[in-house]
Amino acid sequence: MKIIEATFEDVENIIELNNDVHKMHITWFPKTYKPLNKTLLKKFFKDLLDSNNIKIFIAKNKNKLLGYIKLNITRQEESLFIYEQYFIEIDQISISKNSIGKGTGKALINKAKEYAMNQNITKLILKVKSKNINAIEAYEKLGFQTTTKKMELDLKTGG
């Protein structure tokens, strides 16, 4: 398996993997997530690849895409309450169904760590849906710790 930076030629395969995760989100949160337009999604990912503050890495075995990770390089400005800090947010990660449990996710996270350290950034953060128990367990095995919980109240349903 190789972990390399994504190129425009990888976009179609990234979209397929993204769609798998997005379908899961639609199932869990149908009032929040909507079906995707493939044409707009292709432009979205191509624009991301041109961005200076975003990196997308892919895991490949020969010509087969096993997974991808999208990193947002973020600067949080100093305020009255916090110091300025730089961190990398793992905004998206998706592993092909056939590659789950085979080290692909770990390899992509390790690439994110390596990239962060090369940028003198010492913190990775990510958000994960509370219903995604498998992902939470995988992240915890890789050393991630819960530091914040986001809670919502649906005012229409009361819950």
In a domain? residue 148: no
Asked if residue 154 is part of any domain, the answer here is no
Q: Is residue 149 part of a domain?
A: no
Q: List strands edge to edge, sheet with 2-5.
A: 2-5, 54-61, 64-76, 85-95, 124-126
What pLDDT does 158 receive? 64
Q: Any idea what the CATH number is for the domain that residue 137 is in? A: 3.40.630.30
Q: What is the pTM of this model?
A: 0.87
In a domain, 43, yes or no: yes
What pLDDT shows up at residue 70?
A: 96
Cα 142 from chain centroid?
15
- Is 156 inside any structural domain? no
Would you say residue 102 lies in a domain? Answer: yes
pLDDT of residue 86: 92
- Per-residue pLDDT for the chain (159 aa), expressed as one digit of tens each? 999 999 999 999 999 888 888 888 888 888 888 988 889 999 999 999 999 999 999 999 988 999 999 999 999 999 999 999 999 999 999 999 888 889 999 999 999 999 999 999 999 999 988 888 888 999 999 999 999 888 888 888 765
Cα 55 to the chain's mean position, in Å?
11
Range of the domain at 40: 2-141
Domain count, the chain: 1
Structure confidence at residue 159 (pLDDT): 57
Task: State residue 71's pLDDT score.
Answer: 97
Is 18 within 8 Å of 94 (Cβ atoms)?
Answer: yes
| Inside any domain, residue 152 | no
pLDDT value, residue 23: 87
Residue 98 belongs to a domain:
yes
Our CA angle for 93, 66, 42, nearest 5°, is 65
Measured CA to CA, the distance from residue 71 to residue 26 in angstroms comes to 22
